[in-house]
Chain A
Amino acid sequence: MELFTNQVLAGIATGAIYACMALAVVMIYQAIDHLNFAQGEMAMFSTFISWQLMQWGVSYWAAFIITLAFSFVAGIAIERILFKPLVKAPVLTNVAGFIALFAIINSSAGLIWDFTIKQYPTPFGSSPFLGSQLISTHQAGMIGVTVLLLLGLYFFFQYTRIGLAMRAAASVPESARLVGINTSWMIALGWGMATAIGSIAGMLIAPVVFLEPNMMGGVLIYGFAAAVLGGLTSPFGAVVGGFLVGVFENLAGTYIPGVGNELKLPIALALIISVLVVKPAGLFGRQIVKRV
């Protein structure tokens, strides 16, 4: 029983990270109708920035805040420079753009910081949380930061005018323009926020997976699985999906014989395919109906 509780709690902790990645993916998907394959690499690069700052002697939380600001601006810059010109381009052009972004960021990180694995500090420590062997303080910290982030985002989108404008721009762009919303900048803002959210995920998971340019590959696949499970059209669904995938991943690794650690990733892919076959809109997603 203790093993079970332990695995569920650990699953919730990694699930928090998947939830952040899924949320970042969904925010951009809502804004531009494309999946950002480079979301993980962007998060990885941000994490390296924070690591570099700490190497220069900046304290953890100062580095955390500076990285958030950097990621926000970088996200906006990427949208303005690369994806704004592609607004009316076909899907495949955008896909090529994302793959290019992926490759560019991955190689630049390797060029600047090389591909050796680096230790990344945790501000929470890794002692048992509240004296319990079930969960470490870092895992509790991952969950805590994610919950704070989600509450903040909920408040932002539900109760601020700019949040309302962003939701409007994502749901009916033409009407949004007709009430005077600059939809193009709302998309850029969405990119900035998604990139910042991704950077939080990167900085929280780095002590677990260690820092290196390919660290987010697996995480992003789980993030996609979470987004698909929850529904690509639903930010709430993405978050729920994240936690579910985290728990499912851990339980499958523990209890299904032969899965172990090596086959955890195929489980995420199997999950994506099963959801797409059985319930393409996901748990909380909207069925998209197109008139032809």
Chain B
Amino acid sequence: MTTLLNVKDLRAYYGQVQALHGLSFSLNEGSLVTLLGANGAGKTTTLRAICNMVRSTGAIEFDGKPLNNRSTENIVRFGIAHVPQGRGTFTTMTVEENLQLGAITRKDSAGIVSDIERMYAHFPVLKQRHTQQAGTLSGGEQQMLAVARALMLRPRLMLLDEPSFGLAPLVVRDLFGILGKINREDKVSILVVEQNAQLALELADQAYVIETGRIVMSGKATDIANNEEIRKSYLGY
């Protein structure tokens, strides 16, 4: 198992306010890791810091190469696809254009065409609506679209920010099933931030618990899920 993403002593700032206080964690190639924690713990900030969307210090290494001081659009070209909170849909464009945008950095037009078909196979609802404006999709459909758009990059690592947010429980089950499948079959490593800890722990190999900008707990997802004390004090279920 090689380490794909290695974060050391990450500190992030919004203006004068420090949001992360020296966070360290790592993610192995091919694994599915979840960051858990309450509102305002710093989960989203961690993902944003990896993509250099917030001012930060510390070391972030991807596949042995430092990501610090690179622009967001450059980091994407390493094969890191970020599905932001709120899904980041291009609402005024069609579903198909959204998918093409996911592959905008790729040069292999034949591969892009076949990947779009592959996404339609993964998410049949997107095929039905491929000429529709993306803003007219339901929340769940937009989340599917966001995941599909990210996969169009053929990423090595996918960062997902609260994919379950605002979705009906059944839709969430569906979505997490697909994420697991993508992780196993397409060999995409996944770092997922979640408030729905129970569900995320079922899916993940490894878990980290964040509280006020620090990692307070880490371990195998099954161990954390089985530890009643951690569950009660940090995860609230």
Kindly list chain A residues whose C-beta atoms are within 8 Å of the C-beta of B104: 161, 164-165, 168, 179-181
Residue on A nearest B82 in the bound complex, by CB? A178
* Cβ–Cβ contact A178 & B92, under 8 A: no
Q: Could you say which of B53, B82, B100 contacts A161, with CB atoms under 8 Å apart?
A: B100
Q: Could you say which of B76, B82, B84, B93 contacts A168, with CB atoms under 8 Å apart?
A: B93
With contact pairs A164-B100, A164-B101 given, residues A175 and B89 touching in the complex (Cβ less than 8 Å): yes
With contact pairs A165-B101, A167-B93, A168-B93 given, residues A180 and B88 touching in the complex (Cβ less than 8 Å): no
Task: Give a binary string over A231-272; 1 marks a CB under 8 Å from any B CB, 0 the rest.
Answer: 000000000000000000000000000000000000000000
Residue on A nearest B112 in the bound complex, by CB? A161
A172 to B142, CA, bound (A): 15
A167 to B92, CA, bound (A): 10
B29 contacts partner chain A, Cβ-Cβ < 8 Å: no
Q: CB within 8 Å of A: which of B141-173?
A: 149, 153
A171 contacts partner chain B, Cβ-Cβ < 8 Å: yes
A176 to B149, CA, bound (A): 11
Main secondary structure of the interface of A (DSSP, over half): helix
A175 to B82, CA, bound (A): 9
B33 contacts partner chain A, Cβ-Cβ < 8 Å: no
Task: Give a binary string over A175-189; 1 marks a CB under 8 Å from any B CB, 0 the rest.
Answer: 111111111000000
Q: Could you say which of B53, B71, B91, B149 contacts A179, with CB atoms under 8 Å apart?
A: B149
B26 contacts partner chain A, Cβ-Cβ < 8 Å: no
B140 contacts partner chain A, Cβ-Cβ < 8 Å: no
B3 contacts partner chain A, Cβ-Cβ < 8 Å: no
B90 contacts partner chain A, Cβ-Cβ < 8 Å: yes
Kindly list chain B residues whose C-beta atoms are within 8 Å of the C-beta of A181: 73, 101, 104
With contact pairs A161-B104, A165-B104 given, residues A177 and B73 touching in the complex (Cβ less than 8 Å): yes
B72 contacts partner chain A, Cβ-Cβ < 8 Å: yes
* Candidate in A168, A171, A179, A286 with the most chain B CB atoms within 10 angstroms: A179
Q: Could you say which of A164, A172, A180 contacts B73, with CB atoms under 8 Å apart?
A: A180
* Cβ–Cβ contact A179 & B105, under 8 A: yes
* Cβ–Cβ contact A175 & B84, under 8 A: yes
* Cβ–Cβ contact A164 & B97, under 8 A: yes
* Cβ–Cβ contact A168 & B53, under 8 A: no
B184 contacts partner chain A, Cβ-Cβ < 8 Å: no
Interface size (A, Cβ < 8 Å)?
18
* Cβ–Cβ contact B72 & A178, under 8 A: yes
Shortest CB-to-CB span from A161 to chain B, Å, is: 6
With contact pairs A164-B100, A180-B77 given, residues A175 and B90 touching in the complex (Cβ less than 8 Å): yes
B51 contacts partner chain A, Cβ-Cβ < 8 Å: yes
Kindly list chain B residues whose C-beta atoms are within 8 Å of the C-beta of A165: 101, 104
B42 contacts partner chain A, Cβ-Cβ < 8 Å: no
B37 contacts partner chain A, Cβ-Cβ < 8 Å: no
Shortest CB-to-CB span from A87 to chain B, Å, is: 14
Main secondary structure of the interface of B (DSSP, over half): loop
With contact pairs A164-B101, A179-B149, A180-B73 given, residues A171 and B84 touching in the complex (Cβ less than 8 Å): no
B102 contacts partner chain A, Cβ-Cβ < 8 Å: yes
* Cβ–Cβ contact B76 & A178, under 8 A: yes
Task: Give a binary string over A128-171; 1 marks a CB under 8 Å from any B CB, 0 the rest.
Answer: 00000000000000000000000000000000010011011001
Shortest CB-to-CB span from A289 to chain B, Å, is: 12
Shortest CB-to-CB span from A116 to chain B, Å, is: 47
Task: Give a binary string over B74-94; 1 marks a CB under 8 Å from any A CB, 0 the rest.
Answer: 001100011010001111110
* Cβ–Cβ contact A180 & B105, under 8 A: yes
A286 to B133, CA, bound (A): 14
Q: Could you say which of A171, A182, A183 contacts B90, with CB atoms under 8 Å apart?
A: A171
* Cβ–Cβ contact B76 & A179, under 8 A: yes
Shortest CB-to-CB span from A288 to chain B, Å, is: 12
Kindly list chain B residues whose C-beta atoms are within 8 Å of the C-beta of A183: 73
Q: Could you say which of B88, B105, B153 contacts A175, with CB atoms under 8 Å apart?
A: B88
Kindly list chain A residues whose C-beta atoms are within 8 Å of the C-beta of B90: 168, 171-172, 175
Q: Could you say which of A167, A178, A286 contacts B84, with CB atoms under 8 Å apart?
A: A178
Kindly list chain A residues whose C-beta atoms are within 8 Å of the C-beta of B92: 171, 286
- Contacts from A to B (Cβ < 8 Å): 161, 164-165, 167-168, 171-172, 174-183, 286
Can you offer 27 A-B residue contacts whose CB atoms are under 8 A?
A: A164-B97, A164-B100, A164-B101, A167-B93, A168-B93, A168-B101, A168-B104, A171-B91, A172-B88, A172-B89, A174-B53, A175-B89, A175-B90, A177-B71, A177-B72, A177-B73, A178-B84, A179-B76, A179-B101, A179-B104, A180-B77, A180-B104, A180-B105, A181-B101, A181-B104, A182-B71, A286-B92
The 4 A-B residue pairs whose C-beta atoms are closest, nearest first, are A175-B88, A180-B76, A180-B105, A177-B72
